[in-house]
Amino acid sequence: MAQTSTSVPPAVLLANHLKALKLPTFAREHEKVAFEAAQDRADYPRYLLRLCELERIDRERRMVERRIRMAKFP
């Protein structure tokens, strides 16, 4: 595992990694989903599953929007 600088807060590192990995929904929703998972006493795999579901839904939505724009419907 790569070492990280202790002077950089984990939240900043996480945001940078999620941006580099092109996971905007993870970046936007991870804190809210973590709070909801804690409230529901959901385990870590369920937390990750929910984030993955949100990312996939958002990507599919953006893909449809992009294809509609590219089709240049009247």
Q: pTM (2 decimals)?
A: 0.80
Q: Is the pLDDT of residue 74 over 70?
A: yes
- The predicted-structure confidence for 4-60, as pLDDT tens digits, reads as follows 567 999 999 999 999 999 999 999 999 999 999 999 999 999 999 999 999 999 999
Give a three-class secondary structure readout of 6-47: CCCCHHHHHHHHHHHCCCHHHHHHHHHHHHHHHHCCCCHHHH
| Angle at CA of residue 7, ends 31 and 28, nearest 5° | 20
- Whole-angstrom Cα distance, residue 27 to residue 58? 12
pLDDT of residue 13: 95
